[in-house]
Amino acid sequence: MSLPLAGLSAIVTGAGRGLGRAEALELARLGAAVVVNDYGQPGRDGTGQASAGPAEETAAEIRAAGGTAVAHTGDVSDHRQAQELVESAVQEFGKLDILVNNAGILRDRMVFSMTEEEWDSVIRVHLKGHFNTTRFAAAYWRERAKTAGGTVYGRIVNTSSEAFLAGSAGQPNYAAAKGGVVGLTTSTAHALAKYGVTANAICPRARTRMTEDVFTGVPATGPDPLAPEHVAPLVGYLAAPAAGRISGQLLVVHGGMVAVVERPRVGAKFDSKQDRFTYDELDTLHNAHFAGRERGETFAATEVLGLRREQAPARGEAPLTGR
């Protein structure tokens, strides 16, 4: 059986554990050679035994399954180390084809209690980390395209969050960073389209070490709908040649479900009857428009939090068609 990512190389950040680990394993399963990035050096595990570190552990798991992988322990929020990460993929595998940005941290607190460090650290790791790796991968693909005199193969999969879509009240730093990731993604998609490179963002819902305080209650029996393995196949698909026409998109994924999020639409437009608006005119127009709205309804799309997979078909039954 041919593998859709055979002959391609990838970087997955934050791939030592959780979602990034599942994504790195999936890309390798589909044939890609993978640079497994996760910040941190080898140390000791919970029993005091020497540990190779999460990045090397994931890379070793890929190699044990017959795949190709190397570990990288640099900090993607550091501009120079992100550059070294991209360069390491090219040096190790001869080229870079796929970049999956997943690395992140949480520092949850209400906006009126959040410290400057809690704000800065989350913005730095998520948003700056996404930018850093994207900046150097984009420059690499642009140069390759100029040398080739045509398009090249390039795929970027970024990680946003439903916290941005729904406006999570206890995560102003995280919601802002993940909103920024979407803006970065659509800008990158437009900038790199002429070189043949695509960029998409996903909003995954998964039970990981980072979200263990958010998603509680692991099912006692049966599959876990919040297992990271539900997210990884979409990342593998978006990284593949078959997804070449998909770019600049935002997709929610979890528990056997993928939802494509539409871009914002203009809900109303007002024109002044004078050269410019007056206070009274604005008051009249906007009061009439918002009078029919539910109190508390905002730009936030809280309905995405209710998205679920339709009930899986019983064994032997035909699957339900998607809507």
Cα–Cα dist 263/250, whole Å: 9
**272 carries an active-site annotation:** no
Here the tokens at position 56 are 């090397």
CA angle 85, 89, 91 (to 5 degrees): 110
With CA atoms as reference, report the closest residue to 99 among 27, 166, 161.
27
Structure tokens at 146: 């100029």
Residue of 39, 128, 178, 195 marked active site: 178
Q: Tokens at residue 39, please?
A: 């910040």
Q: Are 19 and 102 a contacting pair, CB within 8 Å?
A: yes
Catalytic residue among 161, 168, 195, 247: 161
140 is catalytic: no
The count of other CB atoms within 10 Å of the CB of residue 222 is: 6
Active site residue 178: yes
Three-class SS of residue 189?
A: helix
Distance CA 230, CA 255 (A): 5
Q: Take residue 295 and report the two structure tokens written for it.
A: 């109190």
Rounded CA separation 321/174 (Å): 34
- Residues 6+ away with beta carbon under 8 Å from 113: none
- What span, in angstroms and rounded, lies between the C-alpha atoms of 94 and 263? 37
Active site residues: 161, 174, 178
